[in-house]
Structure 1
């Protein structure tokens, strides 16, 4: 086991032993690990990674912000350094050392085309109730985020959960083997990042299944039993030697969704888990949270957290920013409800969002409105998948559809005239006419891929209340 002290996450000696580096400039004790100099806090180890910019350019800034040491490929003046041949490989080694020095920590890993960040954070909420825990922050789920999250894992926690994502083939397996989870979950598989796979969604399914490669003997694979690719996931998990448990709507699943009733403040769920029926509340109203909640319960069970604690955590878990947060926005003549789903979008999450919005009651004369920006990384399937959203919009009886982006033009043209709202080339142009998009009593969902800037429209709509207050002050 590496040397450690109760007050330090890493000592300089620990880091040098883990990475094979040499200490220059003296010893230090680090209480955190960062790679962004703007996020550096006193006591941190700064890792100088090479990306669009060379992290060595920011070592001085990190020291100025309170970093006690730096992991570098060449000595830098300003503070103690540990010099290694490759800082990314050194970060990976530090993460592996954090894992190996704490074999008592039960680790979970989550991936999926939709919902992986929210499910990961909901699992973390349950882990926190059960004892000291650790998890990914933000969406730190790639070749940097996963080893960074491992390297930040304190030796004193009991459990941890890691989000694992991908943009291209071959990314998930190595990250899962790095984490070596005791339980791994695929929330669902859908047409996301399909432009990177020659065989489209089938390739995505195989890539997601690679999360089971990191499971050791006795590991648990948690899979979505309602997905078209369930058997691909199950077969891969069984080849890896995992015990498979599934969630879905059919009786054969270990966690079966019986009913999901959305309301103005969340939803009531009825489910059968390992043969016992449970009724529980969520602060999430989206229909996809019926199955998401069961994924959380099965993952927590696999990490030795009782279902009573899991249900208590789910009951208090708030929607994450841009992932279903709701707000009542006052405007002239009344108010409207804003559902901010602007962080990301794909065909699966769009359909789930339409279903959830369609189930929301609206006052007489009010409308269900969606404001959509382009879904990205869909390759040659993009036009067809954007046009195909019209079916889900019709099924949910959405009243008005405002759109932004060249890909969303295909949906705009596919809609019947009575549903067509505004279309603009960019989300910024749509945000500029925010007052024209809504009226009092409406329930409005904003959704789009992060890169197509749906968040600009969500922010502009939320800002209408400030405009109202400004107008009121100016009229006094």
Structure 2
């Protein structure tokens, strides 16, 4: 169930209704009992049971919409009920799944939204305004949920196609529907208003925003008031009496023959009037009077803007026929939206800092409100208020003046240090005292480095702007968080005194390590859980230093640590969790105790590696592999310490064999049910007797988890006993380099599957190896390299230059968990990629499929057991092989 609705997921549309409303003709096999439980057009967000409306740039009038007509088979693979397509089916489509062919899918969506509105029997509330509309919508939705079945807009689907989409997803028997409504171009706004036809229309406020398109506040106000023209007879308009151009809004309402108006605010003539309020650093208390009744309530967010959002929500509840007094009592439990003054505590070597993420969106009014909240917060002794501001877009010719007008608010907030990003914010500095500390730049990376250098313990950092702007505030936020995680209280570089510390003391500390456990999506119930697994991973500092000594380019120094993964980063960032095989120790030791004994000795930077793993959303690593002990026991200790200080979860290695063999546990709530992923990392290297480097853990000694059937069996039994709905993945490092799987791998794999594993995802060969299906269990011998940054020996050893990224997707179908594994082939031969891991082309994908098919137990059965497809995401084409689990 989508987290935006508080009603049980129900059947919305039948096949006959869809055709009757949207027109066109059904093709394929249309089940008589076709049940549509959702509607969507975003390919990356559709769910089982949805009818998917395809998009394409021309008819949808924006290049932001990709042509999804070409990937309709993907929708059916993911259990979607039906697909609506414009024109004709793609030439390569060969299926009899239900497809509704219409003339124009964009117009068909409007028609479906309009039909949905016609059948809604409850009260429809539409909320617009310059600032606070998403928050006010969400508070109103929450309050009405306490009083009856309610549907609310998902996220902020408030634009042209978003409004009919949200209506189409509303069951007809909802008591309340609460929808966000944005200003579009005039013809779009009016069309959208005629579809939603609200019973209640609210304008939260009018501020300088979108002036690039409308020129003046007056024209912007008139545009927002177009919503009144479609108000239902006897409908109610809710207005903020304190808002700019309130009289103009009132005039527009009367011109639209609106008979019922409720106002709120501090103004003497407001219907719902604030009598008194008190502001605190984290909350507020308010006293209001409405219809001669006085009440007090508590707001769990700071600032006068939060009070006004809540007051508007109470007025909307009353207008919708709800109990506003009960709602006032419930306000203290209202949810806080992400990136709306979202607070973090980040630990630095000099102490904790408070980080406030206020980057959901920005206009001058919301910046002023955010600065006011910053001014309410008092830093601890020695701390400062540091403001980081990104420029505001769509302000038109007055942009520079509007940015400069923020100066008094910066001063009132008692900002000690100011950082600004973006050209139009430069003028702000001319309006500030010359003594103001900080820096301005149009380069967000420069500002990110400056902020990290400036901040210290007890500071309060407030970041404001829109993540959609060129200010790239996401980079700055990430730099602050990652620096905090990676700076330790004591230096990571061991000095002489630290080296003399007894190993027994260190082992005692290590035994207290928290078990590798992670809860995903704690604050909401997602509809799916996606985990990405990648193979052998190392930034390759040892290789690049060697090449540099030969006079060649060191790519890490010349291009930076982010360059090698730039072409696959989007997939990493999309995942709920990314797990990698970290095939290098993190150490600053200069000489390995095995120098001259091992052909290849790896090392990674103790600061840069964790920082850039996290920057690429890699937060969990397996350690059981042949390079983790390249610098012996001391290098292994440094690795564990570095990962722990960075907040990176590790498994497959530890202070004892029990620690090393312990499964990594990740849990996520999916549609209200807890799903548990258990992963066991192990190294199938030489036996203990032949382990000349003493890398395996024991009851008393640190080290890696060696392969052991008994230990695997016992650990699987333990996790299945302790956790419900457990899916067990084994993550072994094994096999010969640059070769297909060995007979030993096959023997080990068959035995481990019998011990109760659900899936084996191996690595270690530096290339993709065979895949096999044993009953309902899948075995992927090797997903190969992910990032190694060595020249490699693919050509010399005649090995295919391919590896794979694996993605486990878990959702629900008919109340049960539905799982699938997607293998995305990648090219990892750095002589071909110039040290940038990339997805395969269509030609290369066909080559990978042919290689795997011919090495499958039955090449004919291969095409039945797996499905080959592609997806479009972030302007990338990703080919994949889908394995049902």
TM-score clears 0.5: yes
Alignment partner, residue 3 of structure 1: none
Q: Which of these residues, 109, 121, 125, is aligned with residue 91 of structure 1? A: 109
Q: Which of these residues, 411, 417, 421, is aligned with residue 428 of structure 2? A: 411
Which runs of 5 or more residues in structure 2 are unaligned?
1-8, 58-62, 493-640, 646-885
Alignment partner, residue 49 of structure 1: 55
Alignment partner, residue 73 of structure 1: 86
Look up the SS of the partner of 1:297 in the other structure.
helix
Alignment partner, residue 482 of structure 2: 463
State how far apart, in whole Å, the 1-side matches of 2:330 and 2:106 are.
35
CA shift for structure 1 position 469: 5.8
Cα distance change of structure 1 residues 468 and 279 upon mapping to structure 2, 3 Å threshold: farther
CA shift for structure 1 position 132: 1.2
State how far apart, in whole Å, the 2-side matches of 1:7 and 1:113 are.
34
> Max radius of gyration: which structure?
2
1:84, 1:90 within 8 Å by CA — same for their partners in 2? yes
Look up the SS of the partner of 1:121 in the other structure.
helix
CA shift for structure 1 position 181: 0.8
State how far apart, in whole Å, the 1-side matches of 2:36 and 2:404 are.
52
2:160, 2:184 within 8 Å by CA — same for their partners in 1? no
Look up the SS of the partner of 1:185 in the other structure.
strand
Please give the per-residue CA displacement for 1:363-386, whole angstroms capped at 9, x wherever unaligned: 343222211001001111011111
Matched, 1:223 2:223: no
CA shift for structure 1 position 156: 3.0
Alignment partner, residue 399 of structure 2: 382
Q: Which of these residues, 336, 347, 352, is aligned with residue 330 of structure 1? A: 347
State how far apart, in whole Å, the 1-side matches of 2:421 and 2:335 are.
28
Look up the SS of the partner of 1:279 in the other structure.
strand
Cα distance change of structure 1 residues 33 and 279 upon mapping to structure 2, 3 Å threshold: same
Alignment partner, residue 718 of structure 2: none
Look up the SS of the partner of 1:14 in the other structure.
helix
Cα distance change of structure 1 residues 165 and 282 upon mapping to structure 2, 3 Å threshold: same
Cα distance change of structure 1 residues 372 and 90 upon mapping to structure 2, 3 Å threshold: same
State how far apart, in whole Å, the 2-side matches of 1:61 and 1:433 are.
45
State how far apart, in whole Å, the 1-side matches of 2:386 and 2:168 are.
44
Alignment partner, residue 353 of structure 1: 370
Higher mean Cα deviation, 426-435 or 187-196? Answer: 426-435
Look up the SS of the partner of 1:449 in the other structure.
coil
Cα distance change of structure 1 residues 463 and 8 upon mapping to structure 2, 3 Å threshold: same
Which runs of 5 or more residues in structure 1 are unaligned?
1-5
State how far apart, in whole Å, the 1-side matches of 2:355 and 2:407 are.
21
Alignment partner, residue 185 of structure 1: 202
CA shift for structure 1 position 442: 2.0
2:419, 2:451 within 8 Å by CA — same for their partners in 1? no
Going by fraction, where is helix more abundant, 1 or 2? 1
Matched, 1:110 2:127: yes
Look up the SS of the partner of 1:461 in the other structure.
helix
Look up the SS of the partner of 1:223 in the other structure.
strand
> Which aligned pairs between 1:362-373 and structure 2 lie closer than 5 A?
362-373=379-390
1:182, 1:215 within 8 Å by CA — same for their partners in 2? yes
Please give the per-residue CA displacement for 1:277-326, whole angstroms capped at 9, x wherever unaligned: 22111121132111111100001111111113322442112321111212
Please give the per-residue CA displacement for 1:217-262, whole angstroms capped at 9, x wherever unaligned: 1111111111221011111112223211111112211111233333
CA shift for structure 1 position 448: 1.1
Matched, 1:14 2:20: no
Count of residue correspondences: 469
State how far apart, in whole Å, the 1-side matches of 2:454 and 2:329 are.
38
CA shift for structure 1 position 7: 4.7
Matched, 1:34 2:34: no
Look up the SS of the partner of 2:468 in the other structure.
helix
Cα distance change of structure 1 residues 271 and 459 upon mapping to structure 2, 3 Å threshold: farther
Cα distance change of structure 1 residues 417 and 191 upon mapping to structure 2, 3 Å threshold: same
> Which aligned pairs between 1:199-214 and structure 2 lie closer than 5 A?
200-214=216-230
Matched, 1:277 2:294: yes
State how far apart, in whole Å, the 1-side matches of 2:416 and 2:275 are.
29
Higher relative contact order (CA 8 A, sep 6+): 1
Alignment partner, residue 76 of structure 2: 63
State how far apart, in whole Å, the 1-side matches of 2:456 and 2:304 are.
25
CA shift for structure 1 position 267: 1.8
Higher mean Cα deviation, 164-173 or 383-392? Answer: 164-173
CA shift for structure 1 position 81: 1.0
Alignment partner, residue 4 of structure 2: none
Look up the SS of the partner of 1:29 in the other structure.
coil
Q: Which of these residues, 437, 451, 454, is aligned with residue 473 of structure 2? A: 454
2:87, 2:104 within 8 Å by CA — same for their partners in 1? no
Please give the per-residue CA displacement for 1:85-144, whole angstroms capped at 9, x wherever unaligned: 111111111111111122x21100001011111111111101211121111111110111
- Provide the alpha-carbon RMSD of the alignment: 2.0
